[in-house]
């Protein structure tokens, strides 16, 4: 697998850049070296380039340390039968944003264990997965089955990617981990091609009840980081996207009682017991139908817990490309 990983890295090196100088990179003696040879980046044993080694107490460093610590619990939570069933419901909603559309280069940013890369497998020719946690990336690497995927460790607000290289950029639950949204969306705009599309699925708290509940949850859960995580809000996000050259196309919220009950194994200890209940997946499927009904009511519009959104890059005249 390691030989395959190096071959994939060689194929994708033309997409990468030195995040400090914006220079191209060369692969020399299993290291990535900038054109002026002043910056060198190690390649981890899983053939994952390491672009972020900041030892400060920045938000990025906090998130890196946080997810390097909890990655096993995170992966375990994704594998519970009730979590899988509810995630299938969310995935179906998400993938319908692009359906059968095909892309050359696909990027999952804040990729974790690579859920988006797996979900959109039929929609791209090549894929990159970027995350700040090397432990999460190693999990992603071990579960990948395709030579068309390359994982990279890097900072979402200073991506090790050249300008205009990505056709489709996806974030699954990553935006709320990044406090500086303007820097994030500026980077998204920079790496997207002129006809590029940006898709995301993230927690929202426009509904005041969810806002209050989340304040409590963030204080009691060790798997969440209150200092660096902030759910999205519609008007703020729309403005930030626009300020950075991205035009909001879709904003649909989903998830209600069922999401609260079955998608919080990291917060609700009793949630783990659901995996032992017979026919739990059928029960969860019933809850997804209830959630679907509630979030489709006219007076509940945009009051769900999760937003599924899409934006496109604007041309110089201000129109979506």
Residue 64 has pLDDT above 90, yes or no: no
H or E stretch at 77: helix 59-78
Task: Give the pLDDT confidence of 114-167 residue by residue, as tens digits.
Answer: 999 999 999 999 999 999 999 999 988 888 767 899 999 999 999 999 999 999
Q: Is the CATH number 3.40.50.150 carried by domain 62-313?
A: yes
More confidently predicted of 62 and 294: 294
pTM of the model: 0.90
The tokens for 193 are 């091609």
Task: Check: CB of residue 31 under 8 Å from CB of residue 21.
Answer: no
The tokens for 290 are 């209830």
Ordered DSSP codes for 278-294: TTHHHHHHHHHHHHHHH
Most confident range (mean pLDDT) of 66-70, 100-104, 185-189 is 185-189
More confidently predicted of 208 and 249: 249
Task: Check: CB of residue 193 under 8 Å from CB of residue 166.
Answer: yes
- Can you give the residue ranges of every domain in the chain? 62-313
What does each C-alpha distance from 82 to 45, 77, 282, 288, 289 come to in angstroms? 34, 10, 9, 11, 14
Residue 66 has pLDDT above 80, yes or no: no
């Amino acid at each position: 697998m390691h030989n395959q990983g190096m071959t994939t890295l060689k194929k994708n090196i033309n997409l990468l850049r030195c995040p400090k100088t914006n220079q191209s990179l060369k692969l020399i003696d299993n290291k990535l070296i900038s054109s002026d040879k002043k910056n060198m980046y190690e390649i981890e044993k899983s053939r994952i380039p390491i672009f972020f080694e900041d030892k400060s107490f920045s938000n990025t460093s906090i998130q890196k340390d946080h997810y390097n610590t909890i990655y096993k619990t995170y992966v375990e939570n994704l594998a519970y039968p009730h979590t899988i069933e509810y995630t299938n419901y969310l995935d179906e909603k998400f993938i319908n944003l692009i359906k059968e559309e095909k892309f050359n280069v696909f990027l999952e940013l804040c990729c974790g264990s690579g859920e988006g890369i797996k979900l959109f497998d039929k929609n791209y020719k090549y894929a990159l997965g970027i995350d700040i946690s090397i432990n999460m990336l190693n999990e992603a690497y071990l579960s990948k089955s395709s030579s068309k995927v390359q994982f990279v460790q890097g900072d979402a607000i200073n991506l090790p990617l050249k300008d205009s290289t990505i056709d489709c950029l996806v974030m699954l639950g990553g935006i709320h981990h990044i406090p500086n949204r303007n820097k994030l969306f500026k980077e998204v705009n920079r790496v997207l091609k002129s006809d590029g599309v940006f898709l995301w699925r993230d927690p929202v708290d426009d509904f005041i009840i969810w806002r209050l509940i989340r304040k409590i949850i963030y204080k009691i859960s060790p798997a969440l980081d209150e200092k660096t995580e902030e759910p999205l809000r519609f008007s703020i996000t729309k403005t930030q996207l626009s300020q950075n050259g991205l035009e909001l196309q879709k904003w649909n919220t989903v998830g209600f009682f069922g999401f609260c009950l079955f998608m919080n194994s990291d917060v609700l200890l009793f949630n783990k017991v659901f995996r032992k209940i017979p026919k739990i997946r059928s029960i969860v499927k019933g809850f997804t139908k209830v959630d679907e009904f509630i979030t489709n009511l006219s007076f509940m519009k945009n009051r769900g817990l999760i937003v599924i959104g899409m934006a496109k890059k604007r041309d110089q005249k201000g129109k979506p490309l």
